[in-house]
Structure 1
Amino acid sequence: MAITTVTTVASPYVFDTDLVSLTEASALLADTGHPATPRTLKRWALKHGVSVERAGRDDIASWSDLLEVHAEEVDRRLGGARP
């Protein structure tokens, strides 16, 4: 039986659980009213230093990192204007 333990120490054996494919992230972000294609998300991620890896045919990245990058880029496109 596998048991998940909570630890405050970083370990190379702990896998990132918030990984998402860029295709899936693009579909989820479409609902925000500020859509971004998987290709755009990859470009933005690399621009902001977010690691993008390959898993089979999909590019994957951290969902929380992609959310931050998306927010920054949308804010930049809107000229810093907030509703």
Structure 2
Amino acid sequence: MAIATVSPIPSGVASDLVTLQEASALFEATGHPVRPRTLKRWCVAEEVEVIRHGRDDWASWSDLLEIHARKVDAGAS
């Protein structure tokens, strides 16, 4: 008998989710680091959905890339 596993992430959410800590580590490698707290603030300002699961905040990687690019271009990072 198969057991259905309940996903902690709703099915209607972006499939490219990363934690803000993971995103921060990846952005650090680009030479334009940004703290997870700052990423969350940017997401709220840009109305990008941030999903809280357990202790981690998750957001769409593609959305984070776009926000980061705009902020770097503007000199905010």
**TM norm structure 1:** 0.73
Among 31, 34, 45, the alignment partner of 1:33 is 31
Paired residue total = 67
Aligned to 2:52: 54
Q: Decide which structure has the larger Cα Rg and report it.
A: 1
Kindly indicate whether structure 1 or structure 2 has the higher relative contact order, using CA contacts under 8 Å at least 6 residues apart: 2
SS at match of 2:48: coil
Q: CA deviation at 1:16?
A: 2.3
Q: CA deviation at 1:14?
A: 4.5
Gaps of 5+ in 1: 1-11, 79-83
Gaps of 5+ in 2: 1-9
Counterpart Cα distance in 2 of 1:41 and 1:77? 15
What is the percent sequence identity of the aligned residues? 60
Aligned to 1:66: 64
Counterpart Cα distance in 2 of 1:53 and 1:14? 12
Q: CA RMSD in A?
A: 1.7
